Amino acid sequence: MEFQDYYEALGVKRTADADEIKRAYRKLARKHHPDVSKDAASEEAFKSAGEAYDVLKDPEKRAAYDALGADWQPGQKFRPPPDWQSDYQFSEAGAEGVNPEAFSDFFETLFRRGHPGSGFSGDQNLRGQDQHARITVDIADVFRGAKRTLTLRVPQVDASGHVRIRDRSVSVSIPKGITAGQFIRLKGQGSPGLGDAPSGDLFLEVVFAAHPQFQIVGRDVHLTLPVAPWEAALGGKIRMPTPGGSVELKVPKNARSGQKLRLKGRGLPGAVPGNLIATLQIVNPPVKTEAGREFYKKMAAEMSFDPRAEMEE
Amino acid sequence: MKLTSARQPPSDVIEALTLAELGRFCHAETDWIIELVEHGILEPGGLSQVEWRFTGINILRARKARRLSQDLGLNMAGIAMVLDLLEERDRLLHELGMHREV
Task: Say whether both A222 and A299 belong to one domain.
Answer: yes
In whole angstroms, what is the distance from residue A275 CA to residue A260 CA? 12
* CA B55, B61, B65, B68 torsion-angle sign: positive
Q: Is residue A77 part of a domain?
A: no
Which of B11, B21, B25, B70 is the mutation pick for testing A, counting most A CBs within 10 A?
A: B11
Tens-digit pLDDT profile for residues A211-247? 888 988 888 999 999 999 999 999 999 999 888 888 9
DSSP class of residue A157? E
Q: What is the pLDDT of residue A218?
A: 84
Q: What is the pLDDT of residue A253?
A: 95
Question: SS3 of A300, please?
Answer: helix
Residues in chain A with pLDDT values less than 70: 82-102, 112-125, 155-165
Q: Does A200 touch chain B (CB under 8 A)?
A: yes
- Single out the residue in A209, A225, A256 at which a domain terminates: A209
Task: Say whether both A297 and A244 belong to one domain.
Answer: yes
Check if the beta carbon of residue A153 is closer than 8 Å to that of residue A117: no
* B40 Ramachandran zone, left/alpha/beta (phi>0; psi -120 to 50): left
Q: Is residue A1 part of a domain?
A: yes
Report chain B (102 residues): mean pLDDT per 10 consecutive residues. 50 88 91 94 92 91 92 91 92 78 51
Measured between beta carbons, the chain A residues lying within 8 angstroms of B59 are: 183
* Number of H-type helices and E-type strands within chain A: 9, 11
- Number of structural domains, chain A? 3
In whole angstroms, what is the distance from residue A246 CA to residue A213 CA? 13
Task: Say whether both A105 and A29 belong to one domain.
Answer: yes
Chain B residue with minimum CA distance to A54: B71
- Single out the residue in A181, A209, A237 at which a domain terminates: A209
Q: What is the pLDDT of residue A162?
A: 66
Task: Say whether both A97 and A134 belong to one domain.
Answer: no
Neighbouring C-beta atoms of residue A178, cutoff 10 Å: 22
Q: Is residue A75 part of a domain?
A: no
Q: What percent of chain A has pLDDT over 90?
A: 29
Task: Say whether both A182 and A234 belong to one domain.
Answer: no
Q: Is residue A292 part of a domain?
A: yes
Task: Say whether both A161 and A221 belong to one domain.
Answer: no
In whole angstroms, what is the distance from residue A173 CA to residue A202 CA? 13
In whole angstroms, what is the distance from residue B72 CA to residue A29 CA? 7
Q: What is the pLDDT of residue A99?
A: 46
Q: Does A181 touch chain B (CB under 8 A)?
A: yes
Domain containing A297 equals 215-303
Q: What is the pLDDT of residue B38?
A: 93
In whole angstroms, what is the distance from residue B41 CA to residue B35 CA? 9
Task: Say whether both A34 and A98 belong to one domain.
Answer: yes
CATH number at residue A19: 1.10.287.110
Spatial neighbors of A264 by CB under 8 A, at least 6 apart, are A275
Task: Say whether both A87 and A100 belong to one domain.
Answer: no
Q: What is the pLDDT of residue A118?
A: 38
Task: Say whether both A51 and A139 belong to one domain.
Answer: no
